[in-house]
């Protein structure tokens, strides 16, 4: 009982902190408040699970700072009827937040170990609106395209042509960090109308690189 109360209190503090930092989308805040981030971080970081910081996970990857998760999610403008493609499942935390906000999430992870761990959590949480697979995120998921929304959780050197092509031409949106690791990176929102793309700078960020191909198990 004490752990549940503590976890709920910690999540409330996190949500209030995000609201104080300017996150105003109440659906996004509610989704973050509903997800126990402690499930997605290593045990030795549980005491920091609901702090607004990025934390390391396996395979030299990280679970994003909740403020960044909230900012990227809010920038998409999801409804409960939305279909989303996520590039970079990682721990599954961002995926789970998305699952509370839309009809369906498809998510791709290049690291088989991370993908397997995330899928176990999705099953444990009974997330029936999430489909996950191992694959090359830069290639997207052409069999299910076009997508209303694409969210990329690693930094690309440039805007990936295959992902742009998989955006819906009727106002599809992609949120993606651009820039090399160790250099300045910027979070962008890309909107597609027919064959025209609009690129909007949102904020400076720092992400692990978006790597092509599939990693060894």
pLDDT tens for the 217 residues of the chain, in order? 223 334 678 899 999 999 999 999 999 999 999 999 999 999 999 999 999 999 999 988 899 999 999 999 999 999 999 999 999 999 999 999 999 999 999 999 999 999 999 999 999 999 999 999 999 999 999 999 999 999 999 999 999 999 999 999 999 999 999 999 888 999 999 999 999 999 999 999 999 999 999 999 8
Which of 125, 164, 124, 120 lies closest to 145 in space, CA to CA?
164
* CA dist., res. 54 & res. 103, Å (int): 27
> Are the beta carbons of 69 and 153 closer than 8 angstroms?
no
Residue ranges of domains in the chain, CATH in brackets: 54-205 (3.40.50.150)
What's the pLDDT score for residue 60?
A: 83
Q: What's the whole-model pTM score?
A: 0.94
Count Cβ atoms below 10 Å from residue 101 Cβ, excluding itself.
Answer: 20
Residue 163's alpha-carbon distances to 34, 39, 49, 140, 175, in angstroms, are 30, 30, 31, 6, 11
Which of 81, 211, 201, 193 lies closest to 153 in space, CA to CA?
211
What's the pLDDT score for residue 90?
A: 96
What's the pLDDT score for residue 7?
A: 62
Exposed/middle/buried for residue 20 (C-beta within 10 Å: 0-12, 13-18, 19+): exposed
Count Cβ atoms below 10 Å from residue 170 Cβ, excluding itself.
Answer: 10
> Are the beta carbons of 155 and 208 closer than 8 angstroms?
yes
Active site residues: 64
């Amino acid at each position: 009982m004490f752990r549940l109360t503590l976890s709920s209190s910690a999540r409330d503090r996190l949500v209030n902190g995000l609201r104080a930092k300017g996150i105003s989308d109440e659906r996004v805040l509610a989704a973050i408040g509903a997800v126990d981030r402690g499930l997605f971080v290593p045990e030795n970081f549980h005491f920091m699970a609901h702090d607004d910081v990025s934390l390391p996970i396996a395979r030299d990857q990280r679970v994003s700072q909740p403020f960044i998760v909230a900012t990227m999610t809010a920038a998409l403008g999801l409804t409960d009827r939305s279909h989303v493609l996520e590039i970079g499942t990682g721990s599954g935390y961002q995926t789970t937040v998305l699952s509370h906000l839309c009809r369906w999430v498809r998510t791709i992870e290049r690291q088989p170990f991370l993908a397997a761990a995330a899928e176990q959590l999705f099953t444990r949480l009974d997330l029936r609106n999430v489909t996950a697979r191992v694959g090359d995120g830069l290639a997207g998921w052409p069999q299910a395209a076009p997508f209303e929304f694409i969210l990329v959780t690693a930094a690309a050197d440039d805007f990936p042509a295959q992902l742009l092509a998989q955006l819906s031409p009727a106002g599809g949106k992609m949120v993606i960090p651009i820039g090399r690791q160790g250099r300045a990176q910027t979070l962008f929102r890309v909107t597609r109308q027919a064959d025209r793309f609009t690129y909007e700078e949102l904020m400076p960020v720092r992400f692990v690189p978006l790597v092509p191909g599939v990693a060894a198990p």
